[in-house]
Amino acid sequence: MGIAYAKFQEMWPDPRQKMPSQLEVDFRNGPTFDPMLGFPNGRKEREMPLTHDEMVDARLPFENRDYCAHKYVHYLQCMTESGFFAKLAGKCDHDQHEYNDCMKEDTILRWKEWERERRLLERRKRRIAKGLEPDPSLQTQTA
């Protein structure tokens, strides 16, 4: 029973306890640092390939309304235009492969952004410890 409990605690830790080895990156509120920090020549902003109205008109599910929506629309068009036997023969495999590659690249880019945020938080923590930067948690809010 002990190993089962240990594995359960490992897979589903108590959310009330702090994880000691992780810095807390809050991905729900967006980046806390300037997105152009560390990019002297600037950085290209990501744009949605389809507008919200186009995604609604295409009846895309909410989970597919992302940066790869245009690839998913092409895949759905291929699936609806081809017959049953063409689907079995793999006529739309190329479109599905393009969509999967786009999703993979998007996931990797989100990982890189999360890792950048984590490293910048570590950098801020080191600079606060050295006294090079004021601690934002100790500053009082003046209104």
pLDDT > 70: percent of the chain:
78
Q: Which amino acid is at 59?
A: R
pLDDT-derived band at 108, boundaries 50, 70, 90: very high
DSSP class of 12: S
Asked whether the beta carbons of 71 and 102 are under 8 A apart, the reply is yes
Statement: residue 90 has pLDDT above 60: yes
- The pLDDT of 64-82, averaged and rounded, is 93
Q: What is the 3-state secondary structure (H, E, C) of 44-91?
A: CCCCCCCCHHHHHHCCCCHHHCCCCHHHHHHHHHHHHHCCHHHHHHCC
DSSP 115: H
pTM, full prediction: 0.71
Helix (H, G, I), strand (E, B) or coil at 119: helix
State CA 33 to chain mean position distance: 16
Asked if 113 contacts 67 with a C-beta cutoff of 8 angstroms, the reply is no
Band (pLDDT 50/70/90 cuts) for residue 143 is: very low
